[in-house]
């Protein structure tokens, strides 16, 4: 066991200690020629066995950096192992930005994209929506390149690693911009329910943090464009914090991106946790489920009704909105979504009970689970939530007919 890698949270020990670390695309092709089964490790920031294999684990940590910035097309092409922490400062230095970011900088871009990881904002789509093109090394070592508009492209960005190894990604960029981040405290839940779209649309990106105790939202993180002016002293009656805050109780707010309405670069504000700092709690488990934003308030009320059952297992919960997209396996495919994220204490059985409670409460709203986090929903129920899943299965069978990139988790979930 000691020789086998673990995921970031330590709740998953991989089935093999055989890790290949190719330093070029040619070496990656060679690894795939030799492997019967293979999966890519990414940053290990998954909380279920999505990256596991009894074959070869592939780390792309030696394949990082920017290949090209195309100023005319406003895109950046990066190597497949690049993390956001590696990309963002270099992209900013070139005068560009990504429109949206997740909470954490240390995750790989390809891993985040492949699992439909997201940021926040009524008008911001998940990270995979920024993919303008990709380079994929398939099971037989062939390199294929696809760009937005090509047949099947919408099935390739969010792929759960089932199509091949992403050796390069091309992402849309925009001119660099500044953000002001302000935290507001103790927003009454009834105020949120009466003004949900207005609260979540109050700025470029808005996150709601709650421990599901009592009748209020503990913290509202408002990330506004600096061009929108100075932040207000209140948000729907909730006062601005008089000092920086951490979303998890007892944690050092110095580990968070700058607050207090001070304008700064996009990549130093859209993230919750800055490059080089402790991310979230460290020892934790995570789950997240998405429903249509049209039923957001009903879903909140359903969770509120059972909060006493799951809150004791919780560090904190975050509610975020995500704009719809057309990607086949995106959790926001075909619908503006709201995500209910939970950071759980590192107690496995207790977490599973809490996740089941959350899933029962959200059941009337057809929740889609985050592909890389903890969930207990039956696979056939998950499959039924994705109308383009048959097209994805057909695509996977064409690109990987022998199932080299499948594992038990992906097989049961997508191909069962």
Helix axes 348-362, 296-305, angle to 10 degrees: 130
65 to each of 69, 79, 126, 134, 342, how far by Cα in Å?
A: 11, 6, 22, 15, 32
* Helix-strand-coil split of the chain, %, nearest 5: 30, 25, 45
Q: What are phi and psi of 25, to 5 degrees?
A: -65, -35
Angle CA(231)–CA(234)–CA(238) in degrees, nearest 5? 135
Query: Which helix (H) or strand (E) segment is 369 a member of?
Result: strand 368-369
Fold of the domain spanning 178-379: Alpha-Beta Plaits (3.30.70)
Residues contacting 147, CB < 8 A, separation 6+: 132, 133, 134, 153, 170
Angle CA(251)–CA(255)–CA(258) in degrees, nearest 5? 120
Domain ranges in the chain are: 178-379
Q: Which of 365, 337, 370 is nearest to 355 (CA)?
A: 370
Per-residue pLDDT of the chain (416 residues; tens, 9 = 90+): 348 989 888 899 999 999 999 999 999 999 999 999 999 998 888 999 999 999 999 999 999 999 999 999 999 999 999 999 999 999 999 999 999 999 999 999 999 999 999 999 999 999 999 999 999 999 999 999 999 999 999 999 999 999 999 999 999 999 999 999 999 999 999 999 999 999 999 999 999 999 999 999 999 999 999 999 999 999 999 999 999 999 988 889 999 999 999 999 999 999 999 998 766 666 799 999 999 999 999 999 999 999 999 999 999 999 999 999 999 999 999 999 999 999 999 999 999 999 999 999 999 999 999 999 999 999 999 999 999 999 999 999 999 999 999 999 999 999 98
Distance CA 109, CA 84 (A): 6
Distance CA 166, CA 144 (A): 10
């Amino acid at each position: 066991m000691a020789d086998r890698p673990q995921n970031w949270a330590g709740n998953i020990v991989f089935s093999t200690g055989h890790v290949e670390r190719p330093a070029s695309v040619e070496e990656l092709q060679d690894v795939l020629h030799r492997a019967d089964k293979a999966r890519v490790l990414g940053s290990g920031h998954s909380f279920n066995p999505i990256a596991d294999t009894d074959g070869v684990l592939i780390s792309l940590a030696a394949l990082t950096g920017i290949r090209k910035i195309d100023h005319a097309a406003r895109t950046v092409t990066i190597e497949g192992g690049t993390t956001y922490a590696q990309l963002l400062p270099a992209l900013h230095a070139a005068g560009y930005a990504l429109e949206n970011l997740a909470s954490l900088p240390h995750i790989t871009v390809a891993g985040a994209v492949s699992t439909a990881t997201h940021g926040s904002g009524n008008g911001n789509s998940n990270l995979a929506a920024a993919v303008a093109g990709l380079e994929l090394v398939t099971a037989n070592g062939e390199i294929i390149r696809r760009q937005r508009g090509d047949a099947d492209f919408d099935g390739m960005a969010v792929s759960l690693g089932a199509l091949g190894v992403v050796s390069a990604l091309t992402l849309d960029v925009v001119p660099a911009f500044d953000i002001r981040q302000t935290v507001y405290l103790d927003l009454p839940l009834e105020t949120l329910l009466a003004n949900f779209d207005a609260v979540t649309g109050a700025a470029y990106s808005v996150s709601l943090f709650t421990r599901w105790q009592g009748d209020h939202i503990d913290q509202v993180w408002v990330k506004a464009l600096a061009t929108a002016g100075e932040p207000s002293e209140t948000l729907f009656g909730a006062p601005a914090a008089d000092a920086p805050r951490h979303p998890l109780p007892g944690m050092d707010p110095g580990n968070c991106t700058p607050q207090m309405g001070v304008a700064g670069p996009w990549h130093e504000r859209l993230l919750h946790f800055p490059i080089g700092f402790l991310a979230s709690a460290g020892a934790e488990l995570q789950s997240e489920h998405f429903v249509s934003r049209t039923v957001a308030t009903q879903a909140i009320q359903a969770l509120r009704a059972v909060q006493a059952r799951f809150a004791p297992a919780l560090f904190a919960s975050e509610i975020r909105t995500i704009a719809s997209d057309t990607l086949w396996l995106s959790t926001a495919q075909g619908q503006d979504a709201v995500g209910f994220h939970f950071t759980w204490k590192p107690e496995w059985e207790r977490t599973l009970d809490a996740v089941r409670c959350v899933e029962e409460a959200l059941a009337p709203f057809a929740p889609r689970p985050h592909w890389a986090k903890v969930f207990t929903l039956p696979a056939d129920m998950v499959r039924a939530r994705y109308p383009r899943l048959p097209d994805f299965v057909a695509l996977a069978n064409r690109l990987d007919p022998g199932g080299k990139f499948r594992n038990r988790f992906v097989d049961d979930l997508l191909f069962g």
